[in-house]
Structure 1
Amino acid sequence: MLKKVLVVALLGLSSTAFAGGFQVKVGASVVAPTDETTVNGVGTLKADYEFAFTPSVEYFFGDTPFSAEILLANPINHDVLLNGDKVASVRQLPPTITAKYNFKNSTRFTPYVGVGGTAFIAWHEKGLADDVKNTYGFAGQLGFNFQPADATNWGVYMDVRYADLSPEVKLTNGTKFDLDLNPIVYTVGYSYKF
């Protein structure tokens, strides 16, 4: 029964969904945590901002304004500051996928908005951080792609992403708390559409 449902669903898909194209984007980002966490008996903790290499792959669904993008950043190392002093660091991967709506028009300037999900995959803790849990959250995206007049496939883009992330941290003394990161990610880069 499940096989029949899958066959019918596949046959029901519009042929334009298969007539889409891929776009590869190579960007540089600033990852800026927006929140801080106050822990009783410990103090105020905040992660610092970091720079990151952020390639992504996007798929456009035919001639529709819809696309899906997956962000594949290099590992990001955050220093954790306690009352302004570095006390720990944690490295993490932030895979993020967004469903996007592209505001197509007659110009070469294409704004877009996206919503989706993100992850905080942690490893290699140092300092007071004994263990940092993986976590998942909401992601939002707002940006634009610009294709110069002499370009056929390439362009430049700029976007801003928000990620709702608060991983659980366990300190070496056994204290546990959620570290509120909730970063805003500012990205500028180069795009190439196939």
Structure 2
Amino acid sequence: MLKQAALIALLGMSASAMAGQWQVKVGASSLAPSSDTMVAPGVLVEADQEYGFTPSIEYFFKDNISAELLLATPFNHDVLVNGVKSAKLKHLPPTITAKYHFKNNTRFTPYIGVGGTAFIAWDEEGVAKDVKEDFGVAGQIGFNYQPADAKNWGVYFDARYAQLSPEVTLDDATAAAVGKSKFDLDIDPIVYTIGYSYKF
């Protein structure tokens, strides 16, 4: 009897947890670093702007509260030293945000979000011998627009800011030239995304 009661309670909790709505979003993004790093006097290092495919999944706990997980294909970054391409790396930027949607009487629904992000790098080339993973806070602002004839789908635009400064280890020759073997590369990217959304 107790086992049956526990099973019924668990099923009830599962049904309650799934009572909200899911949304999938398919977008294209521009990742624009907003910072650069002065490694040594006269040595400026920066990552270039890149573009990528950024799908995401979102769960609505209520009409105006949700959680979104940003997924992405790898971004390929060139790293410039004094404007000259000197290194290359790939990275993934998984990001999760808790969001608040400002419901109103129009077809535009603005939203804001805050959460955390990661910088997962691999396949380093050039003067960068190694780039470590990094974690930081993330903020998000945007809107979803649902056309008059659309039941479940819409279009959206948003901008995300991520605070990321991964540690870069230089190759021996470059380290000797600049007088240090490691430094934090300030990227702090702003990610602009436009795409389609579908709620089910």
In structure 2, give the amino acid aligned to 1:80: V
SS in 1 for 2:45: strand
What is the match of residue 126 of structure 2? Answer: 127
Matched, 1:185 2:185: no
Alignment of structure 1 residues 140-179 onto 2, 5 Å: 140-173=139-172, 174=175, 175-179=181-185
SS in 2 for 1:69: strand
What is the match of residue 109 of structure 1? Answer: 108
What is the match of residue 77 of structure 1? Answer: 76
- Deviation (angstroms), 1:93: 0.5
In structure 1, give the amino acid aligned to 2:34: T
Runs of 4+ more than 2 Å apart = 15-18
Which shows bigger deviation, 81-90 or 104-113?
104-113
Q: 1:41 and 1:182 mapped to 2: Cα distance? A: 22
In structure 2, give the amino acid aligned to 1:191: S
Q: 2:57 and 2:106 mapped to 1: Cα distance? A: 23
Matched, 1:52 2:58: no
What runs of 5+ residues in structure 1 fail to find an aligned partner?
Answer: 1-9
In structure 2, give the amino acid aligned to 1:92: H
Instruction: Name the count of aligned residue pairs.
Output: 185
In structure 2, give the amino acid aligned to 1:164: Q
SS in 2 for 1:58: strand
Q: TM-score, normalised by structure 2?
A: 0.87
SS in 1 for 2:150: coil
In structure 1, give the amino acid aligned to 2:23: Q
What is the match of residue 88 of structure 2? Answer: 89
- Deviation (angstroms), 1:42: 7.0
SS in 1 for 2:164: coil
Aligned alpha-carbon RMSD (Å): 2.0
Q: 1:91 and 1:36 mapped to 2: Cα distance? A: 18
The share of aligned pairs that are identical, in percent, is 66
- Deviation (angstroms), 1:18: 3.6
* Residues 92 and 77 of structure 1, relative CA distance in 2, 3 Å threshold: same
SS in 2 for 1:89: strand
Matched, 1:29 2:29: yes
Q: 1:185 and 1:121 mapped to 2: Cα distance? A: 16
Structure with greater Cα Rg: 2
Matched, 1:38 2:38: yes
Q: 2:135 and 2:69 mapped to 1: Cα distance? A: 15
In structure 1, give the amino acid aligned to 2:77: H
SS in 1 for 2:51: strand
* Residues 17 and 101 of structure 1, relative CA distance in 2, 3 Å threshold: farther
Q: 1:115 and 1:41 mapped to 2: Cα distance? A: 36
What runs of 5+ residues in structure 2 fail to find an aligned partner?
Answer: 1-9, 176-180
Which shows bigger deviation, 41-50 or 51-60?
41-50
What is the match of residue 7 of structure 1? Answer: none
Q: 1:155 and 1:161 mapped to 2: Cα distance? A: 19
In structure 1, give the amino acid aligned to 2:143: F
In structure 2, give the amino acid aligned to 1:189: G
